[in-house]
Amino acid sequence: DFDSKKKRKVAEIYQALNSDPIDVATLRRMAISEGGLLTDEIRRKVWPKLLSVNTDDLPPLPEDNKDYQQVLLDVRRSLRRFPPGMPDEQREGLQEELIDIILHVLKRNPQLHYYQGYHDIVVTFLLVVGDRLATALVEKLSTHHLRDFMDPTMDNTKHILNYLMPIIDQVNPEVHDFMQSAEVGTIFALSWLITWFGHVLSDFRHVVRLYDFFLACHPLMPIYFAAVIVLYRKQEVLDCECDMASVHHLLSQIPQDLPYETLISKAGDLFVQFPPSELAREAAQQQAERTAASTFKDFELASVQQRPDTVLRQRFRERQRGEERTKSILTKPRTNRFVKLAVMGLTVALGAAALAVVKSALEWAPKFELQIFP
């Protein structure tokens, strides 16, 4: 039953934490699997391990910064991100800590530029792990997973958004073509991506569950999750008027009752089936070195036993065992699509659907630039 499964999972997490060296691969698997890391107490122990942050050497808190006024305005607007019923005095104290964390990261990393929505990510860490640890975790996150959002321009953020449509196209060409005909673009998913859905989900439990998942995976996983949300709503999309305003309005209003565990599972599967390297070739025009996500391999190699792609591949293979794959999810002919299908069928039959991911999943190159910001 649920309680016994939860107890077993908690025991496995603590066993991984107490291993020497710490079994980060198992911690990643626990963060990805159903229910994620279960409690904030566990998250306080595991999130630093997923980001390779040394909790024995936490940084001091900061002084004022050129971004102070903008940060202050955003933080004052963050009231809804704090638990309902929290006393004003406690909330105001947390808002001050939130400002301190953001200014600390920006002061220590002058190459980073503040963006609206960044505070939505920071407040999640603050509420889960407290100010000192949140400062260290957010700094590591800002120089790796979130790096491309913190450039002086939005060019790399737009490039990341450009991965959304190729993922949708691989799974459901009909939805892809409908959205292209409507000329809706991908701007509806911008706040999803740059806040890791923290800004658009009202239930904090769902937010931290997604953070478990994203911290355990490749930096591009949020865009796969965004694609899965669109695909989950495929009938709503196809029933919509085929014009930009109607489709944008529909998609920008994210449902709050999504089947999160199912969507997390599907996002992980799609990452394995259609790794970033494969999608990048379809969207080619930009040099891979321009985006921080292309340096994720360096970050991963510096993190003992941190192999998010391996965890996803193993999880995908386990699901495939015993299943007969009699037809492809790729339903619409495309150039080379049937060749890809034949190769995919062979590798699945061999129990290695993501052999190519070993070498190429982290070779991430956001490519073609859609006119999503006229």
- Give the residue extent of every domain in the chain: 1-144, 152-292
Q: What is the pLDDT of residue 278?
A: 86
Q: What is the pLDDT of residue 367?
A: 31
Q: What is the pLDDT of residue 272?
A: 92
User: Which stretch of DSSP H or E encloses residue 336?
Assistant: none
Mean pLDDT across 221-225: 97
Q: What is the pLDDT of residue 353?
A: 31
**pLDDT tens for each residue of 147-194:** 999 999 998 898 899 999 999 999 999 999 999 999 999 999 999 999
Q: Are 236 and 258 in contact (CB under 8 A)?
A: no
351: which DSSP letter?
T
Q: How far apart are the first and last CA of the chain?
A: 53
Distance CA 217, CA 307 (A): 8
Mean pLDDT across 119-141: 94
Distance CA 207, CA 242 (A): 31
Residues belonging to the chain: 374
Q: Angle formed by the axes of helices 118-129 and 68-76, to 10°?
A: 70
42-51, 103-112, 148-157, 336-345: which has the minimum mean pLDDT?
Answer: 336-345
Picking from 190, 367, 167, 202, the residue whose alpha carbon sits closest to that of residue 281 is 367
Q: What is the pLDDT of residue 363?
A: 37
- Per-residue pLDDT band for 123 (boundaries 50, 70, 90) equals very high
Name residue, tokens 């080619």. 284
Q: How far is CA 252 from CA 54, 60, 151, 237, 260, in A?
A: 38, 39, 24, 12, 18
Buried b (16+ CB within 10 A) or exposed e, 152-179: eebebbbbbbbbbbbbbbbbbbebbebb
- Per-residue pLDDT band for 208 (boundaries 50, 70, 90) equals very high
Distance CA 223, CA 230 (A): 11
Q: How far is CA 67 from CA 71, 76, 86, 115, 122, in A?
A: 6, 14, 27, 10, 15
The count of C-alpha atoms lying within 13 angstroms of the C-alpha of 126, restricted to the half-sphere facing its C-beta, is 25
Distance CA 184, CA 366 (A): 20
Higher pLDDT, 373 or 8: 8
**pTM greater than the 0.95 cutoff:** no
Q: Are 356 and 276 in contact (CB under 8 A)?
A: no
Q: Are 331 and 318 in contact (CB under 8 A)?
A: no
Q: How far is CA 9 from CA 23, 128, 260, in A?
A: 14, 20, 19
Mean pLDDT across 56-79: 67
- Per-residue pLDDT band for 79 (boundaries 50, 70, 90) equals low
Q: What is the pLDDT of residue 87?
A: 79
CATH of domain 152-292: 1.10.472.80
Most trustworthy range by pLDDT among 70-84, 95-109, 346-360: 95-109
- Per-residue pLDDT band for 284 (boundaries 50, 70, 90) equals low
Q: What is the pLDDT of residue 31?
A: 95
Express as a percent the part of the chain with pLDDT over 70: 70
CATH topology of domain 1-144: Helicase, Ruva Protein; domain 3 (1.10.8)
- pLDDT surpasses 60 at 14: yes
Q: What is the pLDDT of residue 209?
A: 97
**pLDDT tens for each residue of 355-371:** 333 233 333 333 323 32
Chain centre distance of CA 182:
26
Distance CA 343, CA 153 (A): 39
CA angle 322/323/324 to nearest 5° reads: 120
32-36, 234-238, 347-351: which has the minimum mean pLDDT?
Answer: 347-351
Q: Is the dihedral of CA 46, 308, 118, 121 positive or negative?
A: negative
Q: What is the pLDDT of residue 333?
A: 43
Q: Give the contacts of 114 (CB within 8 A, at least 6 positions apart).
A: 67, 70, 71, 102, 106, 150
- pLDDT surpasses 50 at 64: yes
108 CB-contact burial (10 Å; exposed 0-12 / middle 13-18 / buried 19+) = middle
**pLDDT tens for each residue of 316-333:** 666 666 555 544 444 444
